[in-house]
């Protein structure tokens, strides 16, 4: 074997050992660091409850039942972009036109991501039966985990329901698992499909100045929704 060849192969073997060691270290370090899901320490619950205090809630509706404009959010509770809109776009819409009684917000489940979306959606519908639907949705979004990552456990849902102020947890537990609730979630998703919606979150508006339900798409700013509400009312 020539000296040059010997040297090359020695260097190659060294590099292989080095890479194997680095990969091993990376995996060990990552395995020992905890995951970012699975805990039931809820974030933002107090803030959400403070923000929504005094605004009427029933089913998955937030705001005055007689408000002239309906703004529907077709969302998937596991969808990270829905979480983004819930945290960055909706708060000032709620502070403005919802609190003033000009519009009401309605959440509709459009469960596109997986079974965990259906479980979460059913839990939200059941919370709505006790007038805590919108609080449930917002607190859920604040504590959202990885899509289909196994974070939607009974413990997690119960913690969200409790933080949202669902009073009768036994009834809520029964209702979220009932056929009627699951049917309702499915019907909401079917409604989204009938409207031809392709993704979440998609907003739809209905008011005196709209031709039935009008699809708005995904808002990037509160101003976009406020302008649409103004045009619809």
Partner 1 sequence: MSYPGEWTLRRAIAFVATLGVAVATYIAITEASGDSPVCLAGSTGCRTVAESSYSHVAGINIAVFGIVGYVMLLASAFFANDAARFGGFVVSLGGFGYSIFLTYIEIFKIEAICQWCVASAVLMTILFGLNAIRLIGYGGTDGTNVYGGANEREA
Over the window 125 to 164, marking each residue x when it contacts partner 1 by CB under 8 A and - when it does not, the resulting string is ---------------------xxxxx--------------
What value does the CA radius of gyration of the chain take, rounded to a whole number of Å? 24
Asked if 2 touches partner 1 (CB under 8 A), the answer is: yes
CA angle 74, 77, 81 (to 5 degrees): 75
7 alpha carbon, distance to own chain's centre: 57
CA dihedral (174, 114, 120, 181) in degrees, to 10, reads -40
- Residue 96 contacts residue 173 (beta carbons within 8 Å): no
Asked if 85 touches partner 1 (CB under 8 A), the answer is: yes
Q: CB of 191: closest distance to partner 1 in angstroms?
A: 14
Looking at the Cβ atoms of 52 and 79, the one nearer to partner 1 is 79
- Residue 124 contacts residue 60 (beta carbons within 8 Å): yes
Looking at the Cβ atoms of 6 and 171, the one nearer to partner 1 is 6
Residue 181, phi then psi, degrees to nearest 5: -70, -45
Query: In which order are the strands placed within the sheet that holds 57-58?
Result: 57-58, 61-62, 103-109, 69-75, 202-206, 214-217
Q: CB of 222: closest distance to partner 1 in angstroms?
A: 14
Given the rule CB under 8 A, which of 57-65, 72-80, 164-172, 206-214 is the region that contacts partner 1? 72-80
Taking residue 72's Cβ as centre, other Cβ atoms within 10 Å add up to 24
Among 70, 73, 76, 119, binds partner 1 (CB under 8 A): 76
* Interacting residues with partner 1 between 168 and 227 (CB under 8 A): 198-202, 218, 220
Distance CA 9, CA 26 (A): 26
Asked if 80 touches partner 1 (CB under 8 A), the answer is: yes
Task: Report the interface residues with partner 1, using CB under 8 A.
Answer: 1-2, 4-6, 8-9, 11-12, 15-16, 19-20, 22-23, 26-27, 30-31, 35, 76, 79-82, 84-85, 112-114, 146-150, 198-202, 218, 220
């Amino acid at each position: 074997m020539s000296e040059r060849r010997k040297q090359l192969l020695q260097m190659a073997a060294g590099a292989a050992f080095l890479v194997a060691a680095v990969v091993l270290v990376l995996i060990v370090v990552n395995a020992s660091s905890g995951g970012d899901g699975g805990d039931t320490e809820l974030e933002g619950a107090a803030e959400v409850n403070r923000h929504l205090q005094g605004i009427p809630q029933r089913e998955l509706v937030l705001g005055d039942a007689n408000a002239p404009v309906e703004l529907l959010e077709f969302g998937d509770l596991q969808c990270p972009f829905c979480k983004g809109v819930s945290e960055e776009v909706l708060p000032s819409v709620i502070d403005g036109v919802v609190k003033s009684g000009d519009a009401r917000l309605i959440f509709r489940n459009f469960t596109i991501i997986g079974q965990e979306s259906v479980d979460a959606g059913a839990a939200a519908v059941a919370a709505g039966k006790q007038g805590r639907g919108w609080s449930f949705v917002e607190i859920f979004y604040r504590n959202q985990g990885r899509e289909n990552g196994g974070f939607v456990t009974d413990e997690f849902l119960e913690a969200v329901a409790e933080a949202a102020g669902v009073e009768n947890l036994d009834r809520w537990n029964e209702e979220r698992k009932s056929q009627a609730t699951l049917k309702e979630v499915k019907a909401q998703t079917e409604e989204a499909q009938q409207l031809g919606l392709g993704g979440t979150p998609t907003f739809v508006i209905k008011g005196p100045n709209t031709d039935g339900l009008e699809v708005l798409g995904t808002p990037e700013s509160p101003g976009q929704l406020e302008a649409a509400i103004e045009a619809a009312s």
